Structure 1
Amino acid sequence: MSDLKDLSVLLTRPEHQIEELRQLIQKAGGTPVCFSVTKIISMDGNHLLESLFRDNISKTDLAVFVSPNAVTFGIELLKKHALALPSDCKILAVGPGTAKLIERNRLKVHDYPKAQFNSEALLALPSLDQIEGKHVLIVRGLGGREKIARELSIRKAIVCQLPCYKRLPSKDLDTSVLDTFYREKKPAIVFTSVSAVDHFMLLNSAENLMSAPSLFVVVSSDRIAAHCSSLGFKGQVIVANNAGAPAILAALERVFVATSVNNGIKNHA
């Protein structure tokens, strides 16, 4: 593992999802700066959604959880209404972190992608090859990607979606952190969702960082990278293999090597 000395990393994930990466960066000698730009809140209370959920839960052949937050808030909704997935329902997760959280709730995970943890990798699972006429429940956040639902509908599955949480910009952040962060010796910022980028851009102090050519922007997908570039980030954008903390750390190690040795970096970690 590289020594990340002098590398300062702004972490933008929600507070409850930041700790593992913070510890890894600190252990590697870097300086993590926790700056959660997004708050996750439950969609519970939307009676139309809850009615849709109740009416479809017993028919579910396959349930897809698209994120750890989908597990947390989706299962919370199940418990609140004394509902359960059918015993023969197969459960898919978008990645190992989501799968682990499902299993902590004493549910069995049938399958999940092992390398890329995104919609494309999920859709490539054999479990989703022959699903014509199958009832599929997608547990997700409000405003997320529609790719899974759209593709499964093309495959003639009967799709029901449950948006069980939503992302809001955090309030009362100490933005003075941003006023000097771009002057750090080796500054980097991590984004693991498009909404995090958008919430960051709402801050008055974001422009200094966005326009700093010395800033490295580490993201978890090509989609987020394209979004950052379209908004005008001047620094190098590096795409990690996935959104997991180890993959983000690996991308940060590439940043460190690049700034320490030859100022050159590959676009993908």
Structure 2
Amino acid sequence: MSHWRLLLTRPADDCAALAQCLAAAGVASSSLPLLAIEPVELSEAQRQTLAVLADYQARIVVSKPAARLLLEHLAQGSLPLPSKGWFTVGEATAAVLHEAALQVSCPAQGDDSEALLALPALREVVAVAAPRVLIVRGVGGRELLAERLAEQGASVDYLELYRRSLPVYPVGTLLRRIEAERLNGLVVSSGQGLEHLLQLAAADWPQLAQLPLFVPSPRVAEQARAAGAQQVVDCRGASAAALLAAVQRSAAPAS
């Protein structure tokens, strides 16, 4: 039985699935979702983009919500769905697209933009003359992908299908939860998740910054340290397996 008692902060459905995986490995957790997914109403330009997906050499889907909403919109419009040329940042997002019988490439290790950019299959696609790349995502985020792909000569478009918001909680909720359940570690799955953690913590952050903080990538680890987090653990991935591996190789704080 692990001595870790972690605060999970992903969207509600993801928290539930992650908590189940951790519990099976003997790791206790408590869920406080800090990311709510709000679908956006599609513009006419976005609908036109959905209709011409085959015009892109690469279609990069950066999250599970983006994958689910994309498939929903395509099904509602009875639009064609190219089977090849799909890429994701992580295996969990790839699994959503696999359910639609799509051929998806994703990094075997590392759920971040850097790992995806190093993927040979993506490099091969963008090596053609004047490649077009579509990034399917929420509003904002992962600018590094577009910047690096543009440097390689690609024309990059976005298809933004949702917004992420911080659910409304009473002041002091975060610290009260941690103290009441004697939690000894925090988990965020993205840079925006970290931003929402800091926002909700507010004046309590200096105290909470002493707790070990599990993050998905070097980029988010750097952001966390810059914000004052004292013990940052880079899981090198946002999957349950990556978090569990990081937890198992990290010693829990003394009670």
TM-score bin, normalised by smaller chain:
0.7 to 0.9
Partner of 1:15: 12
The Cα offsets for residues 219-243 of structure 1, whole Å up to 9 and x where unpaired, read as: 111211222222223x311111211
In structure 2, give the amino acid aligned to 1:100.
A
CA distance in 2, matches of 1:151, 1:125: 13
Q: Is 1:63 aligned with 2:59?
A: yes
Partner of 1:243: 238
Does the Cα contact within 8 Å between 1:65 and 1:138 map onto a contact in 2? yes
Q: Equivalent of 1:122, from 106, 116, 120?
A: 116
Matches within 5 A, 1:38-117: 38-54=35-51, 56-86=52-82, 89-109=84-104, 111-117=105-111
Q: Is 1:30 aligned with 2:36?
A: no
The Cα offsets for residues 154-209 of structure 1, whole Å up to 9 and x where unpaired, read as: 22223222111221111246954522515765610101111111112222x55435
CA distance in 1, matches of 2:82, 2:21: 38
Shift of 1:41: 1.6
**Structure 1 vs Structure 2: percent identity of aligned residues?**
30
Matches within 5 A, 1:104-183: 104-109=99-104, 111-129=105-123, 130-172=127-169, 176=173, 178-179=175-176, 181-182=178-179
**Does the residue aligned with 2:147 lie in a helix, a strand or coil?**
helix
**What is the CA RMSD across the aligned residues, in angstroms?**
2.5
Does the Cα contact within 8 Å between 2:132 and 2:155 map onto a contact in 1? yes
Structure 1 residues 76 and 173: CA distance shift in structure 2, 3 A: farther
The Cα offsets for residues 106-162 of structure 1, whole Å up to 9 and x where unpaired, read as: 2222x2110112111111122232233223222122111112222222222232221
Does the Cα contact within 8 Å between 1:133 and 1:157 map onto a contact in 2? yes
Q: Structure 1 stretches of 5 or more lacking a match?
A: 264-269
Q: Is 1:224 aligned with 2:250?
A: no
CA distance in 2, matches of 1:149, 1:215: 34
Deviates more, 1:168-177 or 1:9-18: 168-177
**Does the residue aligned with 1:259 lie in a helix, a strand or coil?**
coil
CA distance in 1, matches of 2:241, 2:106: 18
CA distance in 2, matches of 1:213, 1:163: 32
TM-score, scaled relative to structure 1: 0.83
Structure 1 residues 213 and 171: CA distance shift in structure 2, 3 A: closer
Structure 1 residues 223 and 173: CA distance shift in structure 2, 3 A: farther
**Does the residue aligned with 2:78 lie in a helix, a strand or coil?**
coil
**Does the residue aligned with 1:18 lie in a helix, a strand or coil?**
helix
In structure 2, give the amino acid aligned to 1:200.
L
CA distance in 2, matches of 1:71, 1:192: 17
Shift of 1:43: 2.2
CA distance in 1, matches of 2:169, 2:41: 24
Q: Structure 2 stretches of 5 or more lacking a match?
A: none
The Cα offsets for residues 12-71 of structure 1, whole Å up to 9 and x where unpaired, read as: 0001212232013223333211000110121233334333443x4241222221222221
Q: Is 1:189 aligned with 2:189?
A: no
CA distance in 2, matches of 1:172, 1:15: 14
CA distance in 2, matches of 1:101, 1:180: 32
